[in-house]
A and B are shown apart, each in its own frame.
Chain A
Amino acid sequence: MGGGDNLGAHMVHQLASGMNGMRTAGDLVMRLQMTRGMRLKEAKAYVADRLGVSVRELSDSVVMQDVRSEFGIGLITELEDEAVGEPTAMEAKFNIAELLDLPINCVDRFRDRVHSLRNDGAGGSS
């Protein structure tokens, strides 16, 4: 709800009080709130424990760049050659689901669809 109706408001909030998504661990804390209904303090502690960092480091973009790369949970990349070797979005979400022990809807559906194709003999190796 934060940003509301225009980009200007959201940008101000991001700078004044935001974790800032994949620059840090904001998306991970958000997933705990969304899926588990965890309040902020509990969600931050959970994610910090899983990543092996302090709560303060969760919002540190320098620390989290290395942590995200180490766990394969996705980086924001701007240039083509930055992304080499980093997981794609869906691959990163597979890793996030496992790391946080959290169901992610599209990951579960992706997995089911691949298994279904294999069982139907429509894909995969013989």
Chain B
Amino acid sequence: MGTKLMTRMGDGTAVEVTRDELRADIEDGVAAAVKRAKVPPLDDGEVGHLLDIFASQERMTGVPLGDEVVHSCDGSTSLRASRIDCLTDAEGVGYDLCELMQPDYSYKAVKTVVPSEQRLMQEAQYRLTIPVQYGAQADLGRYSKPDGPCPNWSELLPLGRIDEARAAQEEAAAESEEDMVRIGEAMWEAGADGMDFDTSGASGDADFLAVLKAVRRLREACPDMSIELGMASEFVLGMHGELEWEGVRLAGVWPVEQLRLAQKAGATIFGPAVNVNTGRSVAWNVARAIAIIKPCMDVAEIPVHPNAGMGVGGMPMHSFPPVDAGSRVSRAFVEILRVDGL
């Protein structure tokens, strides 16, 4: 029986395993990615590198000097201070960019308060040197009744009323696209450095379609605007099932195809997301996430910033991710994938 090493589960709890068990876990994570996402496996060198990172018993680890990357982010505000104060704090602690957000984090909610959000963006631009973007998510479900104007496809689908459910999603996507374009143009007018379309595809293929169309229109209207397109999960759910964009069926697309679509639409930063399985180890989750995202790195023409916040990209699903686990996630993405940022 080998020496026991401390590692973490996907929910953050500490467990002890042997080095052989850790290797088996990493190989199993890679195999899960290969089976599910139909991606090539990581090679022996990459698996060994991951093993060394996770078997290390130092409290904290990091990338070699000179290999540092930039970090983008979604919302940089919280309840502890005013939103402007939160942004200036983010600059003070070394964020590379920060994001003004409204607590609902939904473009549908933001559209009712656009002028005040514009004024805040203008104020933020006067006070901060680092880039300030505006962010929220398409959040397509909010356009369905009783919260929104469209029939509720989640009620229609179980009743077998498929055509009506599809029509409702198409109607919601059109509304969402208009809102995102209108808000994007308003924030650009207020001096924003860019827009973040976060958690894209959360409501499925219609949600992703709305974002792609909005990004295309904003790119044409504002050529210098930064547009960050971040995903909700590793593949796009086919809630509609028949929607296409630029000849590609959106239901079921994985990160490499999501990236191609984001590039074609005009995004300047792409953020793939791979969800964490809390019942498996962080090493298993990171191995799976890296294998799924790796094909992106060969076809990327724009920066790729994998999502590595709480519950995605292997980062434990906990409000306070342990430093030991989080720093291993960070190092693994940079050293093995050569990401452009996180």
- Chain A residues at the B interface, C-beta cutoff of 8 Å: 1-24, 26-27, 29-31, 33-40, 43, 55-56, 59, 73-74, 76, 78, 89-90, 92-93, 96, 103-106, 109-110
Nearest 10 Cβ contacts at the A-B interface: A4-B309, A34-B226, A12-B326, A106-B191, A2-B342, A20-B94, A2-B71, A16-B330, A16-B327, A1-B271
Most buried by B among A4, A18, A30: A4
CB of A53, distance to nearest CB on chain B (Å): 12
Structural contact, A35 and B224, CB atoms closer than 8 A: yes
Q: How far is the CA of A65 from the CA of B128 in the complex (A)?
A: 17
Inter-chain contacts of B309 with A (CB < 8 A) = 1-6, 9-10
Q: B66, B73, B94, B192: which contacts A2 (Cβ < 8 A)?
A: B73
Structural contact, A19 and B70, CB atoms closer than 8 A: yes
Name the residue on B nearest A103 (C-beta): B224
Structural contact, A56 and B66, CB atoms closer than 8 A: yes
CB of B89, distance to nearest CB on chain A (Å): 9
- Could you give, for residues 321-334 of chain B, a 1 whenever the CB lies within 8 Å of some chain A CB and a 0 otherwise? 10100110011011
At the interface, is chain B mostly helix, strand, loop or mixed? Answer: loop
Structural contact, A14 and B269, CB atoms closer than 8 A: no
Complex A-B: 27 CB contacts under 8 Å: A1-B228, A4-B74, A5-B309, A7-B78, A8-B321, A9-B308, A13-B342, A14-B71, A15-B323, A17-B63, A17-B71, A17-B330, A20-B94, A21-B95, A22-B130, A34-B268, A34-B269, A35-B226, A38-B303, A39-B302, A40-B339, A40-B340, A76-B94, A78-B92, A89-B125, A104-B193, A106-B192
At the interface, is chain A mostly helix, strand, loop or mixed? Answer: helix
Apart from A2-B305, A27-B97, A34-B97: 8 A-B pairs, beta carbons within 8 A: A1-B306, A1-B308, A2-B71, A6-B309, A6-B310, A17-B334, A30-B341, A103-B224
Q: How far is the CA of A82 from the CA of B74 in the complex (A)?
A: 30
Most buried by A among B96, B269, B333: B96
Most buried by A among B70, B92, B341: B70
Which size bracket describes the interface of B in this complex? Answer: 35 or more
Q: How far is the CA of A18 from the CA of B312 in the complex (A)?
A: 18
Structural contact, A92 and B129, CB atoms closer than 8 A: yes
A22 in contact with B326 given A6-B309, A17-B63 (CB within 8 Å): no
CB of A115, distance to nearest CB on chain B (Å): 16
Inter-chain contacts of A2 with B (CB < 8 A) = 71-73, 305, 307-309, 341-342
Most buried by B among A12, A43, A109: A12
Structural contact, A4 and B129, CB atoms closer than 8 A: no
A105 in contact with B224 given A15-B62, A89-B128 (CB within 8 Å): yes
A16 in contact with B63 given A5-B309, A9-B310 (CB within 8 Å): yes
Inter-chain contacts of A34 with B (CB < 8 A) = 97, 131, 133, 193-194, 226, 228, 268-269
